[in-house]
Structure 1
């Protein structure tokens, strides 16, 4: 007899956290190089993806929510599933450059997924400069985390043009959502789970207190130390419903060169680049706090051989070193925190978010609906979310077209209006920055800040490789004449290369795309 299948408590956090202003889906902007694939078009891509997605049962699952939110929702098969309800085509507004593409992606992201259907969408984007194509993917976070979503690209793609389909992992190919529970079974499950809640809650709280006491007694807690609070900034307030997405790429070879020189990790270098860009951004506006900004750093809880889709991720708070003008000192400060902090999380360090996962959706909805920005800031202990994922070192092809870049797009929340997510792919690290455009104007300067910071670190490491950052289009944007000022001791900045964002009024008047189907 086939069993029912409920979402995990961590999955449900992403459902309960949604509101009119908060979206809990992730995204990915993929630029396609079809130069070696004559005849590539929407119809070719659609037929290819229809065949590939048809082999992955997860994409036919939809939510069945328990009345009143008294228990975890169920995954059930969508009996009315139609691929054409989930794939759309749209043209980017003229002139089709990266700024126009950015506006379109922000518009597409700022719409909730339909919970009565499987929680994903594919947008095939036409009209890019040079007759180029792109794909924007939306996927609800309750389905899978970022690392699993990246694996999905490898599953749906090929490692050579026009390669035969590869055999899918049985854990994915044979996954089943479970049957729709009858009312009596659903009620019984709900009563059972509710009756066990006090015991689970008591055990969880006792476990947290016990692990903290044990770390203090063994001295392990001292290695991490008490984390300082995140200082308030203009983007650590309540957010609106609009999103903007800026993106760019840096050579992985250059980042690894810095890593080897300083004896740290790629993740440390990424955090140092983000910290440097954030420092420049706030300095230019005379809004840099004296205390260092802190980042909510994603920590994967997956084992090396974990092939399942789903959510297995936690987070911890680390410094971004924005209080330090010296680049080397900033990286050393970050490195001093990251290793111990991640180890603590993987060893079972738990906190308020793990406690919250015990509550049924009804309670979570009530808690999240009343949460204030300052409460999120205090609970997360972070000003910005930073996530670094490892992708394929080999190029991936879809319907014969090469995926040139994969820019990840993720979630912002009240109190944290900036999310920086990056993915190493085919020799580059592709950065996607999601922001509230009213709270974070001129967000393209953050992308420039990442490149400028890498240049500074490469100078300290003895030089850069011949590869340069490649922007979203085939042509770089025109330089901006004005340079940003820096505090003494920071070095010389290169010219900004990306166009500035719109003013508050212009942002409110965002144009609707030309067509949508």
Structure 2
């Protein structure tokens, strides 16, 4: 019998991953905050960072993820990841959950918002919530342990992860959670983490990991830079004041509102899809399935070099090949216009902090009706190049900007517009992870498996993260609507193999052509042979 994760207490490749990388001394943990304290003081052994309870209001985009959940209960807006851990050297088993809690307690003050909760559980029509310090925070409510049933293999782990990621985070507490999963074979374990999308995006999570992770013995702990103030940050207003301030922004910035509205109109004109429906679109339930496939990163780069485009083009082609197989398996028609994927684009500047979301999007059709892996790859290369040249992501940014100028009472309508299946059918995200191998309390991290949330009316999502020369696809599906997600995974593997073979065929042909050119140059440079002597 599977042990589902406990739902009490409190995910990009996820921001919570960054807290779990070993290398700093472990002081005695402080696990309970029971009184208010001045910023910069210490309670027990836990230091409160220098900030007050007059915390930041959520940005428009951050609040949008809360509104998505409120609009559709099955659309859980948390990111996540699973770290596969080898045994701790000298122990032959997993880290101890008590050690993990101590490590997180030591790092918590340096991680933006991981000790904060929402001032209100909902983003209502009058104002957006604020981040406020949770003085009753308990580390043991957020960091727990679980055990797999026998035989504890990949199938059991994926089933457990499906249950874990099916549970929404409790908005009364800080919006993250970590579980140490034991009883994998040969002393191995896993660390499953999830974090709400309003807390961080995938790229911000990885940037945070780069700042706080100690990957070398004895390396110094690096504190992340303070995050800049969120859009709209100020002391908590009353609902009336908040509404007045939003109305004032519209009055004071009509030019910005008009420019944003034009950008949205262009995006809708170019991006709205036809009525073709497939199995991957429709009402989304609460249960998730989770499966993964691994490919060497070098093979994706070989596809990039030999067939052109980018690694992201290869990723989209692999996903498109998997969707083609899934639709054919189900007997669905293959849409001639393709299946439109939303591809998040990081727009974080070099000085931006790690907390919050700094993302825009491209909408790329995956040509599932096109025959041949190479032809599908070529079509995706052309589509992504066209959209990048046209600045399509600015249209999505314009939608966010327009909602930022509008009062919160209008946000939900704009959010529904941004996530309509008429714009895209699934999310495909690609996050660049650490190149160097990592450890968690001495346990080597063998692989990182990413989890991406499913938005309303989107039944499938795919995330890819690169780590230490490997690329891992995390495939997420509505467990009830897409019970045959293994067909999608098998199709993606087959598409990868076909593209890898095509790349190697092009490479062999290129090397053969180079040899022929060198041979011809050698023939022209060689002196004429002397006539044979007569006898």
Classify the TM-score, shorter chain: 0.7 to 0.9
How far apart are 1:178 and its partner, in Å?
12
- The 1:315–1:226 alpha-carbon spacing in structure 2 relative to 1, beyond 3 Å, is closer
Render the CA deviation track for 1:440-473: whole Å, top value 9, x for unaligned: 12212322222211111111111699xxxxxxxx
Mapped pair 1:104 → 2:160: yes
In the alignment, the residues of structure 1 paired with residue 501 and residue 86 of structure 2 have an alpha-carbon distance, to the nearest angstrom, of: 32
Q: How does 1:341-352 map to 2 (within 5 A)?
A: 341-343=387-389, 344-345=391-392, 347=394, 350=397, 352=399
- Residue matched to 2:12: none
Match of 2:76 in 1: 23
Listed as ranges, the matches of 1:442-461 within 5 Å are 442-461=484-503
The alignment status of 1:338 with 2:384, answered yes or no, reads yes
**Of 227, 247, 252, the match for 1:195:** 247
Determine the C-alpha separation between the residues in 1 that align with 2:252 and 2:284.
34
Contact residue 63 and residue 123 of structure 2 kept, 8 A: no
Query: 2:103 maps to what in 1?
Result: 48
Q: 1:181 to 1:352 in 2, by over 3 A?
A: closer
What pairs with 1:273-312 in structure 2 (closer than 5 Å)? 273-291=318-336, 292-304=338-350, 306-312=352-358
Cα distance in structure 2, aligned partners of 1:361 and 1:416: 25
Q: Which has the larger radius of gyration?
A: 2
Distance 1:201 1:421, change over 3 A: farther
Structure 1 gaps of 5+ residues are 216-220, 466-517
Structure 1 position 427 matched with structure 2 position 482: no
Which residue is equivalent to 2:184? 128
Change (3 A) 1:307 1:464: farther
Q: Distance in 2 between matches of 1:410 and 1:169?
A: 24
Task: Provide the residue aligned with 1:505 in structure 2.
Answer: none
The answer to whether the Cα contact below 8 Å between 1:61 and 1:177 also exists between their aligned partners in 2 is no
Give how far 1:93 is off: 2.3
Q: Distance in 2 between matches of 1:179 and 1:7?
A: 8
CA positional deviation for 1:158? 2.0
| SS class of match (1:26) | strand
The match for 2:300 is 255
TM-score with structure 1 setting the length: 0.78
Instruction: Select 2:226's aligned residue among 171, 192, 210.
Output: 171
RMSD: 3.3
Confirm or deny that 1:207 pairs with 2:251. no
The TM-score, its normalising length taken from structure 2, stands at 0.76
Q: Secondary structure at the match of 2:181?
A: strand
8 Å CA contact 2:97, 2:144 repeated in 1: no
Q: In the comparison of the two structures, how many residue pairs are matched?
A: 448
CA distance in 1, matches of 2:506, 2:168: 42
The CA distance in 2 between the partners of 1:315 and 1:163, in whole Å, is: 40
Q: Does 1:329 align with 2:406?
A: no
**Pairwise CA distance, 1:319:** 1.3
1:350 Cα deviation after fit: 4.6
| Cα deviation digits, residues 403-458 of structure 1 (max 9, x gap) | 21111111112221111011111101111111101211221232222221111111
Task: Provide Cα deviations, 1:16-52, integer angstroms capped at 9, x if missing partner.
Answer: 1114312111111111122535263323333223322
Cα offset for 1:309? 2.3
Residues 243, 407 of structure 2: 8 Å contact kept? no
